Structure 1
Amino acid sequence: MTKHFFLIWLAGIPGVAAISWLVLPLLLEGRPLPAPQSVISITSAVQSALLLALAAWTGAKLASQVGLHAPVLQAAADGRLDMDGLRSQLLPGVIGGVLGAAILVAFARFAPEQLASLQERFSFPLVARVLYGGITEEILVRWGLMTAMVWIGWRLFQGGAGTPSALIVWLPILLSALAFGALHLPVVAAMLGPLPASLSAYIVLANAAFGIVAGFLFWRYGLEAAMLAHVIAHLGAFAFTR
């Protein structure tokens, strides 16, 4: 378990670095700061790394108990290359990524005027979208949060016996997708100020739509399929909205 935890945590660290040193300075540009930018970036990175560690440990501890897994990363932690596990996730991941890109493009095309104007003025660096969105967010939301929700439901409603029922898995997929959507609100609010309820709902639901896709992929195929889909979604959306 220790190697598995450490490898998954390590996979998410580049995303933490990208957010702390590439995105955060853009969000804080022109604002009065309580401390030097370097101190704020380091503090943000440490906090995010600790939260990532909690998510990585939660998944490493609980996922296998409820039939969730990251087969390629688990094999790598054991010193093996699981080509069969990788191949089984490629097609679902690509399909999920294309669907995710379509969702992101539609989200951008039909965004409310206030959000559309923000998207024209500000764009996250692609490397941050891929590393943080594609890898780190999947560890935080699917591997950590969704796994914990499934495990709690399984313990409460099945007494920890057998395989979790579809309902016990689907509810965490939906709830973690909504949480994934809500995670985007602070960034938008930092740039726009207080958000109207209608705009907040749009941001949450639009991002939750892909969260459902990623949650399903994690459940049925493995964490790597969700990661692959998330990476492809960002690459595809970037290509079509340039």
Structure 2
Amino acid sequence: MPTWIVGLASGVQSALLLALAAFAGAKLAGKVGLRAPALAELASGRAPWAALRPQCLPGLVGGVFAGVLLWGLIATAPQAAAPIHGATMPLAVRLLYGGVTEEVLVRWGLMSLLVWALWRVLRRDARGDTGTPGAGLVWIAIALSAVVFGLAHLPAAAGLAGPLAWPVVLHLTAANAAFGVIAGFLFWRYGLEAAIIAHLVAHLTLAAIVGR
């Protein structure tokens, strides 16, 4: 099959998944207390800066912490990290796809869906739609979406580095899942934009430390 057809099919698939995640988040996030304050202001025709400002510091702190954490995981398991570390995508791709697209897919779409679904199934009073999910339920959704986030990096990693040994699989999944917990917490407590900022800053921090 020609390469351009494979690329086109992959792009269409990614676009459909992104559209589905955006739709799921728009329909479900508000019902369970999750939000994207700056984007909501922008969609309403208002300036987003007032809603974005409170998210900048948490996103910055979370991103720097996550970048240092990821560097620490690489440093403590250099052999497991070597195949991936030597075949990373360009920084611009990591920032745009990782920082924005992955947050829409995993946090805005998947995590919102998980919180809503768990709330519908596990809440004690199933007769009404009032109230919001408790912290324990949200943490379950954060953990589940973080694991999915970690596993979702495996196909792309295999495409870059070839077949992955089990230590590499475990390292890659755990490292990305660790960041997924940080981003999920920021999304829950501050908003989607805080998770996006943290994702961008984490990539920048890691790039500054390792030099790529």
Query: Which residue type is aligned with residue 99 of structure 2?
Result: G
In the alignment, is the contact (CA less than 8 A) between 2:73 and 2:175 conserved in 1? yes
In the alignment, is the contact (CA less than 8 A) between 1:112 and 1:199 conserved in 2? no
Return the alpha-carbon distance in structure 1 between the equivalents of residues 168 and 91 of structure 2.
24
2:132 counterpart of 1:163: yes
Structure 2: give runs of 5+ residues left out of the alignment: none
Equivalent residue number for residue 77 of structure 1: 43
Return the alpha-carbon distance in structure 2 between the equivalents of residues 221 and 47 of structure 1.
30
Deviation at 1:84, TM superposition (A): 2.3
In the alignment, is the contact (CA less than 8 A) between 2:150 and 2:180 conserved in 1? yes
In the alignment, is the contact (CA less than 8 A) between 1:130 and 1:234 conserved in 2? yes
Return the alpha-carbon distance in structure 1 between the equivalents of residues 80 and 160 of structure 2.
11
Return the alpha-carbon distance in structure 1 between the equivalents of residues 65 and 84 of structure 2.
24
- From 95, 98, 102, the equivalent of 1:133 is 98
Aligned residues: 207
- Of all paired residues, the percent bearing the same amino acid is 51
Return the alpha-carbon distance in structure 2 between the equivalents of residues 194 and 60 of structure 1.
37
Equivalent residue number for residue 117 of structure 2: 152
Query: Which residue type is aligned with residue 170 of structure 2?
Result: A
Instruction: Encode CA deviations 1:126-184: one digit per residue, 9 max, x unaligned.
Output: 11000000000000000000000000111112224311100110000001001111011
2:170 counterpart of 1:201: yes
- From 186, 201, 205, the equivalent of 1:232 is 201
Query: Which residue type is aligned with residue 223 of structure 1?
Result: L
TM-score, scaled relative to structure 2:
0.92
Return the alpha-carbon distance in structure 2 between the equivalents of residues 235 and 209 of structure 1.
17
Deviation at 1:118, TM superposition (A): 4.3
Equivalent residue number for residue 99 of structure 1: 65
Deviation at 1:222, TM superposition (A): 0.2
Return the alpha-carbon distance in structure 2 between the equivalents of residues 75 and 240 of structure 1.
35
Return the alpha-carbon distance in structure 1 between the equivalents of residues 84 and 194 of structure 2.
31
Return the alpha-carbon distance in structure 2 between the equivalents of residues 155 and 79 of structure 1.
33
Structure 1: give runs of 5+ residues left out of the alignment: 1-34
Alpha-carbon spacing, 1:118–1:62, altered in 2? closer, same or farther (3 Å) = closer
Return the alpha-carbon distance in structure 2 between the equivalents of residues 111 and 135 of structure 1.
28
In the alignment, is the contact (CA less than 8 A) between 2:83 and 2:161 conserved in 1? no
Determine helix, strand or coil for the equivalent of 1:81: coil
Return the alpha-carbon distance in structure 2 between the equivalents of residues 224 and 53 of structure 1.
18
Alpha-carbon spacing, 1:227–1:181, altered in 2? closer, same or farther (3 Å) = same
TM-score, scaled relative to structure 1:
0.81
Equivalent residue number for residue 187 of structure 2: 218
In the alignment, is the contact (CA less than 8 A) between 2:70 and 2:206 conserved in 1? yes
Determine helix, strand or coil for the equivalent of 2:77: coil
Return the alpha-carbon distance in structure 1 between the equivalents of residues 41 and 32 of structure 2.
18
In the alignment, is the contact (CA less than 8 A) between 2:88 and 2:160 conserved in 1? no
In the alignment, is the contact (CA less than 8 A) between 1:72 and 1:85 conserved in 2? yes
Equivalent residue number for residue 145 of structure 2: 176
Equivalent residue number for residue 29 of structure 1: none
Deviation at 1:38, TM superposition (A): 2.0
The structure, 1 or 2, with the larger RCO (C-alpha pairs under 8 Å, 6+ apart) is: 2
Return the alpha-carbon distance in structure 2 between the equivalents of residues 48 and 77 of structure 1.
23
Equivalent residue number for residue 38 of structure 1: 4
Instruction: Encode CA deviations 1:64-109: one digit per residue, 9 max, x unaligned.
Output: 0000000101111111113221111011010111111112212332
Determine helix, strand or coil for the equivalent of 1:89: helix
Deviation at 1:193, TM superposition (A): 4.2
Query: Which residue type is aligned with residue 111 of structure 1?
Result: A
Return the alpha-carbon distance in structure 2 between the equivalents of residues 184 and 64 of structure 1.
28
